[in-house]
Amino acid sequence: DLLQQGLYQGDGACTTAEDLCERMVDFATKLTAAKRRILEDPELYAADAAPGEEARRRRHRAGPRLAMVPGKLDHASLVAYQVGGKPQSSSNAHWRQQRTATSSGTGGTDVYDGREDRANRNVPPALGESDDYPDNLPYETTI
């Protein structure tokens, strides 16, 4: 359902790997929001509000509340590949960030160089190798 309809009415189907990763991160964030609110409650960790035994009891009472809400707070990595066909967006071309020297040492312009390999690293093509790759490179994100 998430792939075909999205989280909200009218989102539509996923069309790119980037869109899929963004939807999955958004879904996981919303799913675990209640659990994070319970764990981020300042009263659970107030040092001066109660002596050690009372603070321990208060944290122990939070356990059943945590068990009732969905989601698991954990680290996850997402990698999505678009297989076959060209993405609907023609702006998915290979771009790299070319840093230019400025007085503050920051800044830059996006420059198309047409020489990115499948791991999104800028490498020159080998002798006799074609430098045009498909636009279905992986999109990766970390929660």
Q: 105 or 20: whose pLDDT is higher? A: 20
Question: Where residue 44 falls among pLDDT bands split at 50, 70, 90?
Answer: confident
Q: Is 131's pLDDT higher than 80?
A: no
Higher-confidence residue: 29 or 123?
A: 29
**For residue 28, how far is the Cα from the chain centroid?**
10
Per-residue pLDDT at 115 exceeds 80? no
84 versus 131: the higher-pLDDT residue is 84
Say what the pLDDT of residue 124 is. 53
pLDDT of residue 88: 53
pLDDT given for residue 108 in this prediction: 44
Question: What mean pLDDT is reported for the chain?
Answer: 66
In the predicted structure, residue 74 carries a pLDDT above the cut 70: yes
Distance, CA of 13 to CA of 6 (rounded, Å): 7
Q: What is the pLDDT of residue 104?
A: 40
pLDDT category at 129 given cuts 50, 70, 90 is: low
Structure-derived torsion over alpha carbons of residues 34, 73, 140, 85, reported in degrees to the nearest 10: -60
Q: For the chain, what percent of residues have pLDDT higher than 70? A: 53
Nearest to 27 by CA among 90, 84, 59, 70: 70
